[in-house]
Structure 1
């Protein structure tokens, strides 16, 4: 398994507090069957500023610590970038990171709203050859009230990334229902842990994939798992159509259309 969004690097944000915590998270990931993670420290969220050189250095140190510990987990570089005014300029200046040096870039919105310039920023990134990945849209109040606002971003060519614990029901029934609804609206393309520690915010990908298979079908589970690999390797994520089959089950159609 691949995890494209986690906070495993120590000392940078509200994720791993020190090397001991970071290595404990890495052990958890390895035990869960995760082979690679993309470390995505918060950037420009009003509390943390983690530019590209700082993260690259931390990733190098993390992988060296993992080698010393005999843990085969591979950590790759990324950022969870809050939407802010100088985003496009800072990207041009080399201060921002895509996910694992791919064309996919992880964007975070405030929890209360969709920024007024969100469509504009996504559109500009797509013109420049990037693919915006919208982090945990199920935790955005405006999207919860009107999921079509996420669908509009998907239509532009963005991807939706739901948090594993949201879909698994760990964060409550309301978030789980919304996460499944966004999947049924074809607005979710990848599942990620957003792990911050080993206790309160663990990886939990396996549990989420079990729920996804039960509620949406094995085709959807395989599609989403495959997309994490595609993002990490800078491959092609295909926008799929889902249809109602029996009861609450969903199935992935055998045809696709390309976006972005």
Structure 2
């Protein structure tokens, strides 16, 4: 299993504070069935700056510590890049880490409380450069919750989404859990990732999420989510299925009651 979003690189953001904690979290990840992990510290979010060169160096040191402690986890350097007007300049300065070596997929974070007005234009600019934005945890974005059609528009124009495993199993409450389920049922979900920060609350929950997904949507559906994560980190094509507006899914379910 591949985890494309986590905060267990030690001492760089609001995730793991030190190497001891990071090694402990890595053991939990392995117990969950995770074999490969993209380390994605916050970058350019107004609080944290984790420059490309620094993340590469720290990831190498973390991999060495994992190997020395016989923890069977392979880690790759990445960033959870916050959307900002400076993003294109940062890409041109070669200060952005993509999810893959081909610079095709970008793990992109929007503010939790809104979808900025310039988002559509920024996404278009990225895609014009051959970059596919992977919108991280859209199920926790208040803007998407209030207007799911915005998420539909972004996916329809070629963006991907990364749903948080913990959201799907109820860690962030019923409202977030239900919205996650709606995104999945509408065909607008592509992968699960942990967004793990710590041992309590913000943990991995990947095994639980895939168990639920397989039960609700079938083994093949769950397998596609795993294959998509592998495709992203390899820079390969991702499986795009049929997508629907969330309100259409709700309406269909209501009709099926009668």
Residue 255 of structure 1: aligned partner: none
Give 1:100 deviation, angstroms: 3.6
Give 1:51 deviation, angstroms: 1.0
Give 1:215 deviation, angstroms: 2.3
CA distance in 2, matches of 1:158, 1:216: 22
Q: Does the aligned pair in 2 maintain the 1:38–1:100 contact within 8 Å?
A: no
Q: Does the aligned pair in 1 maintain the 2:171–2:201 contact within 8 Å?
A: no
CA distance in 2, matches of 1:62, 1:37: 12
Are 2:76 and 1:76 aligned? yes
Give 1:46 deviation, angstroms: 1.3
Residue 235 of structure 1: aligned partner: 236
Q: Does the aligned pair in 2 maintain the 1:76–1:100 contact within 8 Å?
A: no
Are 2:59 and 1:59 aligned? yes
CA distance in 1, matches of 2:170, 2:235: 30
Cα deviation digits, residues 128-164 of structure 1 (max 9, x gap): 1111000000111110011110111111111011100
CA distance in 2, matches of 1:231, 1:37: 12
Taking structure 2 as the reference length, the TM-score comes to 0.92
What SS does structure 2 have at the residue aligned with 1:99? Answer: coil
Taking structure 1 as the reference length, the TM-score comes to 0.91
Cα deviation digits, residues 59-91 of structure 1 (max 9, x gap): 000001011111120010111011111101111
CA distance in 1, matches of 2:227, 2:100: 16
**Greater share of strand:** 1
CA distance in 1, matches of 2:227, 2:171: 24
CA distance in 1, matches of 2:220, 2:179: 20
Are 2:182 and 1:178 aligned? no
CA distance in 1, matches of 2:150, 2:201: 30
Unpaired segments of 5 or more residues in structure 2?
Answer: 254-258
CA distance in 1, matches of 2:125, 2:172: 33
Residue 155 of structure 2: aligned partner: 154
More deviation, 172-181/218-227: 218-227
Report how many aligned residue pairs link the two structures: 246
Residue 212 of structure 2: aligned partner: 211
Residue 199 of structure 1: aligned partner: 200
Are 2:107 and 1:106 aligned? yes
Runs of 4+ with deviation above 3 angstroms:
none
Residue 251 of structure 1: aligned partner: none
More deviation, 167-176/36-45: 167-176
